[in-house]
Amino acid sequence: MATLVPLVFAVLMPAVFIRIAAPLARVVISWRLALSFGLIVAIVSMVERAFLSLLHLELPTIAAVVVGAGIYLAGGIWFFSRRGTTQAGEPLGQRGAFRFMLLYLVIAAAFLGFATAMQHFGRHAA
């Protein structure tokens, strides 16, 4: 059961960030769509990691962050351009999905930066 925790986390976190970004971007995204996107990017990320492991490659941290953000951005544009809607009920299109995904990435980066800072200060607070 404990081995499922990272997988559940990998699916839920993108979905939660999508749901946080949606009202800020004036976009309508259901939980079903958000969770579907989370599942897709979790699978793609695992395949990417397996591929790199098979080739015995390890990306430098900054390259891994850029590749990961690119995967999320490209996947989000593809996924939400036709499935996401504006508050008026119109499809987002690629431009709207691009803006939405940029906001999503900013929210995710802010959360991860905050979590990293808290982890750092937690280790040194004693």
Buried b (16+ CB within 10 A) or exposed e, 84-117: bbeeeeeebeeebbbebbbbbbebbeeeeeeeee
Range in 30-34, 38-42, 57-61 with the lowest mean pLDDT: 57-61
* pLDDT mean over 34-41: 94
Indicate whether 2 pLDDT > 70.
no
pLDDT, mean of residues 46-59:
87
pLDDT of residue 32: 96
Model pLDDT, residue 98: 97
Residue 93: what residue type?
G
Helix (H, G, I), strand (E, B) or coil at 40: helix
Amino acid letter at 109? A
- pLDDT at position 87: 92
Question: Which pLDDT score, from 0 to 100, does residue 124 have?
Answer: 67
Least Cα distance to 18 among 35, 40, 41, 43 occurs for 35
pLDDT 10s digits, 67-126: 889 988 999 999 999 999 999 999 999 999 999 999 999 999 999 888 888 887 777 665
Q: Do residues 14 and 72 lie in contact, with contact meaning Cβ atoms separated by under 8 Å?
A: yes
